[in-house]
């Protein structure tokens, strides 16, 4: 009888450990709600000044206390469509990280809450852009609100993305 109780006790401890692991995974997923592939809904997005951006896809992957981001943008130009790709990997520590193929030199990330991240873009060490990335709609919508000034030209946008 003693063995049976110990065996059941072990099963209960094992089950509790598995539930704890599952809860940690679920909480981790909620913490990184931005992770995934996002497609711009141009019809729901606003740009000031207007621009020739036609398509944008952003892919976020979780890294140790941060994100890796790949952005693919398609724009119309007089001679056809131009595709640009930009990437960065940054931690949520507010420290500058390089960004490739961008008007910005570096970006830094700060987690505001489980669904909101603030990104600051810099050129030659000076902050020129702030973007707030917020996931809503049960994890299906990403809204990126940005403001900036490059070479004396101010711009802002509200970009709405759908999770793919």
Query: What is the domain-level CATH number for residue 42?
Result: 2.40.128.20
Kindly state whether residues 61 and 2 are assigned to the same domain.
no
Domain span at residue 4 reads: 1-31
User: Who contacts 83 (Cβ-Cβ below 8 Å, separation ≥6)?
Assistant: 72, 73, 74
Kindly state whether residues 4 and 53 are assigned to the same domain.
no
Return the pLDDT at 1: 56
Return the pLDDT at 95: 97
- CA–CA separation, 31 and 93 (whole Å): 16
Distance of CA 64 to the CA centre of its chain: 14
pLDDT 10s per residue in the chain (164 long)? 555 555 554 444 343 334 334 434 444 444 589 999 999 999 999 999 999 999 999 999 999 999 999 999 999 988 889 999 999 999 999 999 999 999 999 999 999 999 999 999 999 999 999 999 999 999 999 999 999 999 999 999 999 999 99
Structurally, how many domains does the chain consist of?
2
Kindly state whether residues 27 and 50 are assigned to the same domain.
no
Kindly state whether residues 138 and 94 are assigned to the same domain.
yes
Tokens linked to 37 = 């592939």
- CA–CA separation, 135 and 149 (whole Å): 25
Kindly state whether residues 102 and 136 are assigned to the same domain.
yes
Kindly state whether residues 41 and 86 are assigned to the same domain.
yes
Q: pTM for the full model? A: 0.80
């Amino acid at each position: 009888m003693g063995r049976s109780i110990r065996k059941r006790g072990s099963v209960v401890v094992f089950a509790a450990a598995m539930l704890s692991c599952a809860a940690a995974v679920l909480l981790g997923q909620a913490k990184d709600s931005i992770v995934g592939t996002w497609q711009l809904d141009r019809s729901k997005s606003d740009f000031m000044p207007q621009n020739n951006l036609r398509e944008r896809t952003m892919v976020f992957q979780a890294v140790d206390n941060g994100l890796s981001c790949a952005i693919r943008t398609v724009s119309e130009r007089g001679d056809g469509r131009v595709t640009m790709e930009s990437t960065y990997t940054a931690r949520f520590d507010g420290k500058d990280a390089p960004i490739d193929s961008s008007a910005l030199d570096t970006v830094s990330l700060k987690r505001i809450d489980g669904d909101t991240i603030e990104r600051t873009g810099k050129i030659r060490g000076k902050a020129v852009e702030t973007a707030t990335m917020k996931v809503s709609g049960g994890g299906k919508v990403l809204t990126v609100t940005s403001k900036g000034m490059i070479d004396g030209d101010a711009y802002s946008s509200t970009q709405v993305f759908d999770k793919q």
